[in-house]
Amino acid sequence: MTAVMDLVLCAKPAAAHWGDNALISFEANQVNVHVTSQGASRLQDIQKAARKLDAQGLKHLSFIGDSWDVEACWAFYQGYYNAKQDNQLEIVVLSDADLAKFNALKIAADWTRKTINLGPAAIYPQTLCESAAKFLTELAPEYVSHNIISGEDLLSEGWVGTYQVGKGSSQAPAILQLDYNPSGNPDEPVAIALVGKGITFDSGGYSIKPSDGMSIMKSDMGGAATVTGGLGLAIANGLNKRVKLFLCCAENMVSGDAYKLGDVITYKNGVTVEVLNTDAEGRLVLADGLIAASELKPGKIIDAATLTGAAKMALGRDYNAVFGFDDDLVHQALQAAKAENEKAWALPLEPFHKGQIGSSFADIANISSGEGMAGASTAAAFLAHFVENAEQNWLHFDLSGSYQKSGNALWATGAKGHGIRTISRLLSE
C-alpha cells in the first residue's frame, strides 16, 4: 500500500538547494508546493507542481493546512490526474460547501476525461449515447428522460447527416435526445439546447487521414463528452432550467457503404450539401442536432465540437475557440470561461463567411473550395445554415483545448475536460 504524503501549499520560495524557482520541496513525509505568484499564474503553478508529482510517481497525497481553497485544490487535481487514474488525493481541508463544489467538478470532469480517453472498441455511437444518458440520469433521475435513435431509424426521422457519415461503419450511427426538465411541466419552454459532435472514431473516410493524425481520433467525440460533462456539472450544482441535449454520434469509416466525395445530402430543413471532403464530417452530423435544437425554439443554442485543425493552428491546445454572430453572447461566453479559470478566445464569424462555402451542385459544400479561406470560420458558417435565428441565439465552441496529444507542464496526455466549467456556467446564468 502506498504511503500517504502530506501536501502543504507554501507562499514562500523553496530553499536555494532545491533549485531556482523550485515548485516543490520535500521534508520527512511532507511535500511542499511553493507558489509565490497570484491569480491565474498561481493556479497554473499549482497545476504544474501536480504534474511534477505525478511524473515522480507519488500516488497518494493528502492536502493539509489552511492555504488550500477550492480553486487551488482543483488546479492541483487537474494536473495530478492521469489517464490511468491511479493517483489518490485526500481532501480534508475544505468546508462542506467547498467540498461539495469540488466533488461536483470531479464527477463531471472525471466522466468527461475518462470517456474521451477510452478507445473506439469501448466507446462507439451506441455506447456513447448510453453512457451519457446513464451519467446524467444518475445525477437527477426524476428530471431526466431520453431517447436514442440509431441505424435506419435515423433516416425515417430525417437525420440524414449522422446517418450518411456513419453508414460506412459496422457500428450503427446514433443520436441521443435527452431532456432535463426540473420543472416537471412537459410544456415548460426549453431554455437552452446543447448539441455535441460525437464522432467516436474518425478515419477521415475516403479523404483518409495519415496514421499520425488518425492516432488520436478516438477523441473526436470530445464535443459530445464536453457538453454532457457541462450539463452534468450544472445539474449537480442545482440547475433549475429546462435543457435539451443532442449528441450526434457516428464512426467515420471507409467501406463500400461509406459516403463519398461528390455525394449531395439533403437535410430536414431543405438545405442541400455537396460533400467535397469526407474528413469534414463533424459539421455534417452537427447539422442534424442544430436542426433538432432549432425546432424547439430555445432561448439559446450552444454546440461544441472538435471541429477543425484550423482552430487548433490558431490557438494551440490551450484555448477553446468561440464563434457567434451575436457579440454580446460571445462576450458572455468569454467572461464565463474567465470566471471559471478556463481559456477561450473568439475567432471571427461574419455573414460573408457563409458565402465562402458555395457549391455548383448544392446549396453549400462541406468545405470551402477557395484559396486561403479561414477554415474554422467557414466551418462555423456552415453550421449557421442549420440554426434558426443564428444571428441572435447561437454559440459554437471549436474545442481546440479539449485533448492533449502528449503531456506537457500542465496536463497529462489525453483528455482535459477543458470547457465543461464554461458550459456549465452558461447554462446556469
Instruction: Just list the catalytic residues.
Output: 209, 283
Are the beta carbons of 382 and 303 closer than 8 angstroms? no
* DSSP β-bridge partners for residue 144: 180
Distance of CA 383 to the CA centre of its chain: 17
Distance CA 119, CA 215 (A): 10
Dihedral (CA of 251, 296, 384, 304) sign: negative
User: Any idea which residue has 442544430 for its cell?
Assistant: 290
Question: What are phi and psi for residue 2, nearest 5 degrees?
Answer: -70, 135
Contact 266, 157 (CB under 8 A): no
> What is the spatial distance between Cα 257 and Cα 175, in angstroms, rounded to a whole number?
20
Calpha distance 339→362 (Å, rounded): 43
Residues belonging to the chain: 429
Q: Give φ, ψ of 251 to 5 degrees.
A: -100, 130
257 and 167 Cβ atoms separated by less than 8 Å? yes
Task: Tell me which residue of 215, 217, 231, 194 sits closest to 112, measured CA to CA.
Answer: 231
Is residue 401 within 8 A of residue 419, CB to CB? The reply is yes
Residues contacting 324, CB < 8 A, separation 6+: 330, 333, 349, 394, 395, 396
In 3-state terms, what secondary structure has residue 222?
Answer: helix
Helical ranges in 316-403 per DSSP H: 327-339, 375-384, 390-393
Burial of 313 per CB tally in 10 Å (0-12, 13-18, 19+):
exposed
Inter-residue contact 124 to 172 (CB < 8 Å): no
Q: How large is the C-alpha radius of gyration of the chain?
A: 22
Burial of 360 (0-12, 13-18, 19+ CB in 10 A): exposed
